[in-house]
Amino acid sequence: MANKIFPLTPEDSGSCLFVATQSGPIVDPANGNPVKRGTVILNSPSAGIAMTLAAPRSGPQIAGGDDGVVLTILIATDVPLTTHVTHTVTCPANSIKGKFSVLNFVPDGGEVCSLFAWSGVWWPLTDTTSLS
């Protein structure tokens, strides 16, 4: 099953729900644009998913930047986990907290990380992940 994107309401200003069932980039399959606003669900109960996430663009949104955007990534499977798997989200070097590039999700139930974009860097707001 391919990764899917579900636009939310127009009032959500470009937010979407991205459901990943296989490894790959976190992009809109229709146009290849990076998903940087909304929710990403890592949905694979039996195999680890390795995703890539673009760094946010520095600057105010009104000028084409991503400052202030929030992206939430979580593990949510529609069937019980069949094995202990780790999911990863890899970003460009130093684009998480200015010194990390990988989010590691170990699915013990409800693993989540909300990322806030500021000045070209993702800043974790809430997380139950490890960084490397």
Domain boundaries, the chain: 4-131
Per residue in 84-129, pLDDT (tens digit) is 778 899 999 999 998 999 998 876 655 889 999 999 999 999 766 6
> pLDDT at residue 9 above 60?
no
Q: Which CATH architecture has domain 4-131?
A: Sandwich (2.60)
> pLDDT at residue 3 above 80?
no
Q: How far is CA 89 from CA 12, 15, 72, 84, 92, in A?
A: 24, 19, 12, 17, 10
Give the residue with greater pLDDT, 36 vs 11. 36
Give the residue with greater pLDDT, 8 vs 4. 4
CA distance 20 to 2: 8
Per residue in 22-80, pLDDT (tens digit) is 999 999 888 888 999 899 998 887 788 999 999 999 999 889 899 999 999 988 876 66
Beta bridge partners of 74: 41, 112
Q: What is the reported pLDDT for 10?
A: 54
